[in-house]
Structure 1
């Protein structure tokens, strides 16, 4: 299966966008309409414990049963899905290669990928797309995408368990861009960092013009914050998760309001993992600036379930010296207010970046250059 994917050529259809998160499974479904994509269904269920590790579904039947519950309880009607692979073995790399045609590129990509893949090409699902050619026609920029086959195979097994048919399995950075930026957005041609803070890891992606020349996954996320609360306050992981959602906040010397002692204690114990996360984000942004000299990162979009941690956006803005916006992928969606209260969608939004971008895969092209693959 192509990681860029071939979609329906006969017009837009309904697809279920499924985000296989290590903490939650999330799904979104749109319908085509004259006013643009119409939001029909949104739902999430807990991911069974230890059923997904580093992006690989280790127990497809167990995940399949969770999918069955989500599809039924969320009243989803589509039978075809769009999902994404993510994790430390997903590689997206922009390279310069001698000019060649598409057929030659297919055979040459494997040898080019051998230089930077952290696993053998025999284990890899590899795809490539020509981004553009040099003025003299001698060279071309190519986007190479790779994922370990286990990630793709395990998703297909879980989907087959509940008789769902995958239309596309792509890499997560593309869905993030599609969810947050449209070609007519003023920021579309700027370098924007999209940071997706999940439960077990954080993906740092930099996009420009619909492409993602840089992506990096670091093993720090909401779980690290939960464990810090559990250890520091001597409570169970379940209680720590509840405290993170209800009481955790990032404090600042600029805060003038009195703070409850518990909030202060929580902030003190979560500071180390937050500091580690900021360090890794700094490393990623600095690497991008070095790799693509002259390119300036204009702003940050912050998403993922952990993005709802109080004041995390302001904290990152201060630490990175960049504007940070909390992701609201459904903010411009067309929907029936009777079905989806605006506050509900806004609260859920940061965690729905991936699923939203996936569900819109056939309803919104990321960029003109990718139109052929859409």
Structure 2
């Protein structure tokens, strides 16, 4: 690494921007800043920033509110314009793979190779068993499992523009899925011998990342999340977006039955769980491994009773992530109740803020 300077984690979401700054000391990390700035509807649509000037103003206001002078930030991208896939290639050095990765990647990409930035991580070597050699065949070759990452350049440019316009420097562009994974490992350790499904329930998409021994085995973005719940609440109870948000978070409205609201939310979560369960079943069938637990983050993780609902839907123990589990928080500076209430929204920001200058940039 070239240094350990604190960087600001900037999670630009559909409805808000979350800012996290951490200080790294001898005993671990301490929270220096946490802030949220709401964004007007339609500012970001399907992971694309449609109104960059609005995002720029929000970022400036957030930095001013938190009194931060640091210019270097870490941000992340997500959505349908990226590919994350585990592939198997012949054994080679990292330098050799760096030269050949674009050729390897082309067969897995739904878009032209010149449109993307490609990155990779070598996971492990695969040594064939002696009995795999058949008579008359050459000796089985040693191969490698590699995690391939490809992101469309226009997605990165779209995410960086309002940050640059705010006078800041996006030092690292990560992926939401890896930020959550990094934050999980910081707080819970690498789950060797376990299969853990990290589910980030955002507004437009729900990302599922299945980790085997702490390494991504398969990840997928499933359309739907908080916006789908809001849409059904607005339709069923003749309310606006703000009213739907209140109902979703358990804040009642006059003349609205709590039971009916709960039924609407449970129905939508059931539909989403059905899609996730199909992914789980495919994973279990192809790997013959069971999923030990599910950990959820994102705005929907704040819905009252969601742990119980999803535990029943998945038939797998489900818990809400605690992104501050191993992070020191000064109660004289922060409202601990507020920090805890907003914790599921901080998961990506925490994972970004632990990055340091000199880290390998993704993608």
TM-score by length of 2: 0.89
Residue 341 of structure 2 is aligned to residue 337 of structure 1: no
2: CA distance, partners of 1:208 / 1:176 = 15
Distance 1:186 1:361, change over 3 A: closer
> Paired residue for 2:135?
none
Q: How many residues align?
A: 348
Of 292, 297, 308, 1:314 maps to 308
Residue in structure 1 matching 2:160, options 156, 159, 162 = 156
Structure 1, 222-231 or 326-335: larger mean CA deviation = 326-335
Pairing 1:111-150 to 2, within 5 Å after superposition: 111-135=103-127, 138-150=142-154
Q: Distance in 1 between matches of 2:58 and 2:66?
A: 12
CA drift of 1:222 comes to: 0.6
Q: Secondary structure at the residue paired with 2:28?
A: coil
Q: What is the aligned partner in structure 1 of residue 283 from structure 2?
A: 288
1:189/1:209 contact within 8 Å kept: yes
Any conservation in 1 of the 2:172–2:361 contact (CA below 8 Å)? Answer: no
Displacement of 1:341: 2.8
The question of whether the paired residues in 2 share the 8 Å contact of 1:23 and 1:47 is answered with yes
Task: Give the CA deviation at 1:129.
Answer: 1.7
C-alpha displacement of 1:349: 0.6
Asked if the contact 1:16/1:76 (under 8 Å) is kept, the reply is no
Measure, in 1, the Cα distance between the counterparts of 2:293 and 2:118: 30
User: How far 1:232 moved relative to its partner?
Assistant: 0.5
Q: Take 1:158 and 1:189, find their aligned partners in 2: how far apart are those partners?
A: 42
Equivalent residue number for residue 165 of structure 1 = 169
Of stretches 128-137 and 337-346 in structure 1, the one that deviates more from structure 2 is 128-137
Following superposition, the deviation at residue 337 of structure 1 comes to: 0.9
Matched residue, 2:209: 205
Which has the larger displacement, 347-356 or 97-106?
Answer: 97-106
* More off after superposition, 219-228 vs 179-188: 179-188
Q: Tell me, yes or no, if the aligned pair for 1:48 and 1:63 is still in contact at 8 Å.
A: no
Q: Residues 40 and 81 from structure 1, CA distance in 2 versus in 1: closer, same or farther, beyond 3 angstroms?
A: same
1:274 aligns to what SS in structure 2? Answer: helix
Any idea what the Cα deviations from partners look like across 1:320-341, whole Å, max 9, x if unmatched? 1111111110132112111123
- In structure 1, C-alpha distance between the alignment counterparts of 2:235 and 2:110, rounded to whole Å: 34
Q: Is the aligned partner of 1:222 residue 2:226?
A: yes
Aligned match of 2:246: 242
In 2, Cα distance between the equivalents of 1:183 and 1:311? 23
User: Which residue of 2 is the match for residue 352 of structure 1?
Assistant: 346
Instruction: Say if 2:302 is the partner of 1:298.
Output: no
Return the offset for 1:97: 0.5
How far apart in 2 are the matches of 1:341 and 1:332? 17
Quick one: distance in 1 between partners of 2:233 and 2:18? 25
Runs of 4+ in 1 over 3 A off after TM superposition: 371-374
Q: Whole-Å Cα distance in 1 between the matches of residues 266 and 299 of structure 2?
A: 18
The answer on 1:80 being equivalent to 2:72 is: yes
Specify the alignment match of 2:132 in structure 1.
none
Structure 2: gaps spanning 5 or more residues? 129-140
Q: Note the aligned Cα RMSD (angstroms).
A: 2.3
Q: 1:325 to 1:237 in 2, by over 3 A?
A: same
1:212, CA displacement in angstroms?
1.5
| TM alignment of 1:35-54, pairs within 5 A | 35-54=27-46
Alignment of 1:58-77 (within 5 A): 58-77=50-69
SS in 2 for 1:181: helix
Deviations 1:348-371 (A, max 9, x none): 1111110011001239x9xxxxx8
In structure 2, C-alpha distance between the alignment counterparts of 1:128 and 1:338, rounded to whole Å: 43
Match for 1:264 among 259, 263, 271?
259
Aligned residue number for residue 184 of structure 2: 180
CA contact (8 A) 2:187 2:323 kept: no
Q: Are the counterparts in 2 of residues 82 and 361 from structure 1 also a CA contact under 8 Å? A: yes
Aligned residues of 1:29 and 1:76 also touching (Cα < 8 A): no
**Deviations along 1:157-195, whole A, 9 cap, x unmatched?**
111101111121011111111111239737355211010
- Cα drift, residue 217 of structure 1: 0.6
Shift of the 335–203 alpha-carbon distance from structure 1 to 2, 3 Å rule, reads same
